[in-house]
């Protein structure tokens, strides 16, 4: 584990041309969005409504949307932090090939990464999608409708259930996005993992695949992860402080 002298890691980044980033909730905590597992995280404050409950129970849908309306204003107001901006910097430098994220907050796109470079494994909370016809509306519109009295809004095209466009527990992962993430991982020369506990599968196996295919594996996280043992380097620290030093011209 390395603390302050990041010269070696910076050298790897300067020498890389096909970096793939892999981010989790930790990169967004400094934007004011809590992660899941920390003591003040989402799971400490909310009952989880899984996909099965959402599709089978009106009460489950109402509870899901109640939580969404409470959490949406803070999510909407959050701004990218210096960690997100460092990834956008790497893209502008021509070093970043793709950014695979478990996050649903859209902050990588808002930091300047083109949408087609951001592979959202768990979807996005910025929109709601109809589970029947796939039509999408903005979360702003969906939350306005809930607040106006539609406690679990339905699709106005087909009457199907509207659900925030995130992947809930028990909901199938998006196959096309997963395949693109695997391909990017197998082709990268450096996998930069930031702010993920790496305990959620199959997402955590993506950095492992990059390492097996010959890429360097660099992990930046506040605490230990199950992949620390196979990483080429682990930097323990706050991503907003560490990433600009790894990626920025001033490093």
Catalytic positions, please?
Answer: 122
Pairwise CA distance, residues 209 & 203, whole Å: 10
Separation of CA 213 from chain center: 23
Stretches 57-65, 98-106, 130-138, 171-179: which one binds ligand NAD (CB under 6 A)?
98-106
Q: Which is nearer to ligand NAD, 10 or 151 (CB)?
A: 10
CA 205, 210, 213, 216 torsion: positive or negative? negative
Cβ partners under 8 Å of residue 20, min gap 6: 96, 97, 98, 99, 100, 184, 185, 188, 190, 191, 192, 210, 215
Tell me the residue length of the chain.
Answer: 251
**Cβ closest to ligand NAD, residue 86 vs residue 155:** 86
Show the tokens assigned to 251: 């490093």
Shortest reach from residue 129's CB to ligand NAD, in Å? 16
Judged by CB, which is closer to ligand NAD: 153, or 195? 195
Count of residues near ligand NAD by CB under 6 A: 26
**Which of 19, 65, 239, 246 is close enough to bind ligand NAD by CB under 6 A?**
239
**Does the footprint of ligand NAD cover residue 222 (CB under 6 A)?**
yes
Burial tier of 73 (Cβ tally within 10 Å: 0-12, 13-18, 19+): exposed
> Does the footprint of ligand NAD cover residue 154 (CB under 6 A)?
no
Residues 13, 218, 78, 64, Cα dihedral to 10°: 140
Interface stretch with ligand NAD, choices 65-73, 139-147, 192-200, 210-218 (CB under 6 A): 192-200
Chain centre to alpha carbon of residue 176: 16
Using CB under 6 A as the binding rule, the residues of this chain from 21 to 80 that contact ligand NAD are 24-26, 28-30, 33, 35-37, 41-42
Chain positions contacting ligand NAD, by CB under 6 A: 24-26, 28-30, 33, 35-37, 41-42, 102-105, 122, 195-197, 200, 221-223, 238-239
């Amino acid at each position: 584990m390395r603390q302050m002298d990041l010269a070696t890691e910076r050298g790897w980044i300067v020498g890389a041309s096909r970096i793939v980033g892999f981010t989790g909730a930790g990169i967004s905590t400094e934007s004011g969005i809590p992660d899941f597992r920390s003591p003040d995280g989402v799971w400490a404050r909310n009952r989880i409504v899984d996909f099965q409950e959402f599709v089978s129970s009106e009460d489950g849908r109402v509870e899901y949307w109640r939580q969404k309306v409470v959490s949406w204003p803070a999510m909407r107001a959050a701004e990218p932090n210096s960690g997100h901006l460092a990834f956008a910097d790497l893209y502008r430098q021509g070093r970043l090939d793709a950014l695979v994220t478990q996050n649903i907050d859209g902050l990588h796109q808002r930091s300047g990464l083109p949408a087609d470079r951001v592979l959202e494994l768990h979807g996005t909370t910025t929109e709601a999608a109809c589970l029947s016809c796939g039509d999408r509306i903005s979360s702003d519109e969906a939350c306005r409708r809930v607040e106006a009295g539609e406690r679990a809004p339905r699709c106005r095209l087909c009457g199907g259930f509207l659900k925030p466009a995130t992947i809930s527990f028990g909901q199938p992962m998006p196959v096309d996005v997963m395949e693109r993430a695997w391909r990017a991982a197998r082709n990268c020369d450096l996998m930069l993992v930031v702010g993920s506990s790496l305990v959620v599968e199959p997402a955590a196996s993506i950095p492992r695949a990059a390492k097996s295919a010959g890429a360097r594996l660099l992990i930046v996280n506040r605490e230990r992860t199950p992949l620390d043992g196979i990483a080429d380097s682990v930097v323990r620290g706050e991503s907003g402080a560490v990433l600009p030093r790894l990626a920025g011209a001033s490093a």
